[in-house]
Amino acid sequence: MKLSRVSRVMQILTTLQSGRRYAVEDLSKLFGTSRRTIFRDLKELQQIGVPYHYDAGAGGYTVDPEFFLPPIDLNLQEAMSLLLLVHKASRQIQLPSKNSALLAALKIENNLPAKIRQYCNTALRNISTKVGSQAPMNLLDKTFTQLQKAITTKKKVNIQYHSLFENKIIDTELCPYHLLYNRRAWYVLGLSELHKSVRTFKLNRIRELQTTEKRFLDGDNFDLDDYLGRAWSMIPQGRIYNVKLRFLPKVAENVAEVQWHSTQKVTRNEDGSAIVEFRVDGLGEIIWWILGYGDQVQVLAPKALRKKVVETAKNMIKLNENATK
């Protein structure tokens, strides 16, 4: 049975650390794969920062044994949880400095006891995660690192930002307070000089970012939970609404089994439907979640929300009825 790629790369690392020099042909025979695959694995090791080198005299590759961490005392469950997080769950989240995270995992895995390492490699082959939609973030590492340093050192940044709400590119000086991953994307929250208030900026819409030498004094007391309050997701609008929805039997159980909001209350009906209630700050975000359930949900309250749903549904019908082929 062929080794999974993660397992093979890990074993290549262990092999190269032994002190003996291995040619590509040796590794190809040892792991039952092609020379091309071995070169691809070596290139992947290079990309994540493993300092292997080719010894022309001995005609083979090796890794400095001192590069890796000393043995770590992890039990089976601890090792599985850590490796599952990095190798599998990290695919669900855009990790900044992802190569560093993978390298850290490889270092730890390399120093696990042989039996635990073998068990983890076998178990991970039979565990998968389904990657959902992700916001494109080609400059995530650079942008995230700059903002993280600015938050830590309390330095203001100047950003050029593509604002969808304002439908233009804006420039503002920002006191960055907090980094947040939510709904498949990274955000920075901070005091915007342009808006004179705390605002949320999506990292992949930041066109330019420059750290200044200006310091800010506030930010220590910024509390994410206090700021978000009862917002449905990320944008509090300053008014609390009691939302009451009836989900039809086809989707009722799927909706009721998930905790969508901290204020959620569920009442199941004899006909299989469910009444789900929330107290949310603003209607702008929750309306799109409701529309995702189409004709399987009724808005019982408030009237303002029901009106918005009806208007949006009518616009959808009109837009699609007039669509050309």
| Residue 1: predicted pLDDT | 33
The DSSP string of 105-151 is HHHHHHTS-HHHHHHHHHHHHT-----------TTHHHHHHHHHHHH
With vertex at residue 283, the alpha carbon angle to CA 281 and CA 285, rounded to the nearest 5 degrees, is 95
| Residue 273: predicted pLDDT | 97
User: How many CB atoms are located within 10 Å of the residue 194 CB?
Assistant: 15
- 39-60 tens-digit pLDDT: 888 887 777 677 777 888 778 8
Q: Could you tell me the residue ranges of all domains in the chain?
A: 5-67, 76-125, 140-228, 240-321
| Residue 173: predicted pLDDT | 98
| 299 Cβ neighbours under 8 A, 6+ residues apart | 243, 244, 245, 290, 305, 306, 309
Question: Hey, which residues does 275 pair with through a beta bridge?
Answer: 246, 267
| Residue 4: predicted pLDDT | 59
Q: Do domains 5-67 and 240-321 have the same CATH topology?
A: no
- Asked if residue 106 has pLDDT above 80, the reply is no
- 182-237 tens-digit pLDDT: 878 899 999 999 999 999 999 999 999 999 999 999 888 899 988 999 999 988 88
- 148-188 tens-digit pLDDT: 999 999 999 999 999 988 889 999 999 999 999 887 889 99
- Looking at residue 11, its amino acid is Q
- Asked if residue 138 has pLDDT above 70, the reply is no
User: How many CB atoms are located within 10 Å of the residue 235 CB?
Assistant: 14
| Residue 3: predicted pLDDT | 44
- Asked if residue 263 has pLDDT above 90, the reply is yes
- The pLDDT of 247-264, averaged and rounded, is 96
- Bigger pLDDT: 98 or 259? 259
Distance (Å, rounded) from C-alpha 155 to C-alpha 211?
Answer: 7
Q: How confident is the model at residue 13 (pLDDT cuts 50, 70, 90)?
A: confident
What whole-number percentage of the chain has pLDDT above 90? 45
Q: The domain 140-228: what is its CATH number?
A: 2.30.30
Q: How far is CA 124 from CA 7, 92, 128, in A?
A: 9, 16, 8
Residue 41 and residue 1 in contact, taking contact as beta carbons nearer than 8 Å? no
Distance (Å, rounded) from C-alpha 252 to C-alpha 242?
Answer: 19
- Asked if residue 12 has pLDDT above 90, the reply is no
Please give the mean pLDDT across all residues of the chain: 85
- Asked if residue 109 has pLDDT above 80, the reply is no
Distance (Å, rounded) from C-alpha 41 to C-alpha 27?
Answer: 11
DSSP secondary structure code for residue 4 in this structure: P
- Residue with token string 């309250």: 301
CA–centroid distance for 176 within its chain: 20
Which ranges of 68-113 does DSSP label H, i.e. alpha helix? 76-87, 98-110
- 55-96 tens-digit pLDDT: 887 788 887 766 655 556 677 787 777 777 766 666 666 777
| Residue 2: predicted pLDDT | 44
**The token pair that represents 264 in the structure block:** 């959620």
Distance (Å, rounded) from C-alpha 74 to C-alpha 82?
Answer: 10
Q: How confident is the model at residue 114 (pLDDT cuts 50, 70, 90)?
A: confident
The continuous run of DSSP H or E covering 303 comes out as helix 303-321
From the candidate CATH numbers 3.30.70, 3.40.1710, 3.20.20, 3.10.310, the one assigned to the domain spanning 240-321 = 3.30.70
Minimal CA–CA distance to 10: which of 34, 44, 35?
44
Q: The domain 5-67: what is its CATH number?
A: 1.10.10.10
- Asked if residue 277 has pLDDT above 90, the reply is yes
Which of 24-33, 138-147, 149-158, 225-234 has the largest mean confidence?
Answer: 149-158
Q: Which residues of 249-274 are buried (b: 16+ CB within 10 A; e: fewer)?
A: eeebeebbeeebbeeeeeeeeeeebb
Q: How confident is the model at residue 137 (pLDDT cuts 50, 70, 90)?
A: low
Residue 174 and residue 134 in contact, taking contact as beta carbons nearer than 8 Å? no
Whether the upstream peptide bond of residue 249 has omega within 30° of 0, thus cis, is: no
